[in-house]
Chain A
Amino acid sequence: MITPRNIVHHELIGLKVEVVSSTNPYLVGIKGKVVDETRNMLVVEMDGEEKKVPKDCCTFLFELDDCYVKVEGRLLVARPEDRISKKYR
Chain B
Amino acid sequence: MRRRRREVIKKIANERIQILFRLAEEEFDKHPERSHRYVSLARKISMRHRVRMPKWLKRRICKGCGRFLVYGKNARVRLKNRRTCITCLECGRVMRYPYK
Bound-state CA distance A10–B23 (Å) is 15
The verdict on A13 contacting B38 (CB below 8 Å), with A81-B48, A84-B45 known, is yes
Instruction: Say how far A79's CB is from chain B's closest CB, in angstroms.
Output: 8
Q: Is A29 an interface residue (CB 8 A)?
A: no
1/0 contact string of A62-89 vs chain B (CB within 8 Å): 0000000000000000001110110000
Q: How many A-B residue pairs have CB under 8 A?
A: 42
Query: Main SS of the interface on chain A?
Result: loop
Chain B contacts to A: CB under 8 angstroms: 9, 12-13, 15-16, 19-20, 23, 31, 34, 37-38, 41, 44-45, 48-49
Residue contact B20 to A11, C-beta cutoff 8 Å: yes
The count of chain A contact residues (Cβ–Cβ below 8 Å) is 16
Instruction: Say how far A14's CB is from chain B's closest CB, in angstroms.
Output: 5
Contacting residues, chain A, for B45 (C-beta < 8 A): 80-81, 84
Contacting residues, chain A, for B23 (C-beta < 8 A): 13-14
Residue contact B16 to A10, C-beta cutoff 8 Å: yes
Residue contact A14 to B48, C-beta cutoff 8 Å: no
Contacting residues, chain A, for B16 (C-beta < 8 A): 10-11, 84
Subset of 9 A-B contacts with CB under 8 Å: A1-B15, A2-B15, A13-B19, A37-B41, A80-B41, A80-B45, A81-B41, A81-B49, A84-B12
